[in-house]
Chains A and B, each alone.
Chain A
């Protein structure tokens, strides 16, 4: 069964450093998403991406964040200058043809720890 994959599973970085989280969505999906879950809190939407541009973003997704689909398979989230409060699980998701477009399938997540 096709699945969303994410790398790395755990990333540790120093405050102020740039990090790039990587995702490989399900191959025939067209819509891509990033979410985060701070420990003990609910899963929060960050951004969605379609047709090589941002479709929707939340107020969490400020200028420190950016997304990119550099090739036909990867979807990345970049945090330019990490802060302590960026420590969270980051989940990538995708949806699209072959499934109900509105049903999003999630990857296993990347745990980001900012020291």
Chain B
């Protein structure tokens, strides 16, 4: 049973480009969470999704950021028109309603140049 799979591991984008980060939850997990980690900082909650539904997006910036978790396929965190301040590690986590608890992926390190 593979863990939470995130890809790519590293992503370099020029200012103004789009970044698409993918997350495949653990098998049997129906809840997906995205967190952002700035250097020397803790993780900050961005969004919580279940299949085809956004449950809590209170941590998402109002502009340029969007997330989805379609019926089929991985969850996608999309950042449009990236700026240098978007450079961070983005972590996805998944959980099931049965077991509870989070399992984090290894993250995507986004660098905006």
**A and B found bound together:** no
Chain A: residues with CB nearer than 8 A to chain B? Answer: none
Chain B: residues with CB nearer than 8 A to chain A? Answer: none
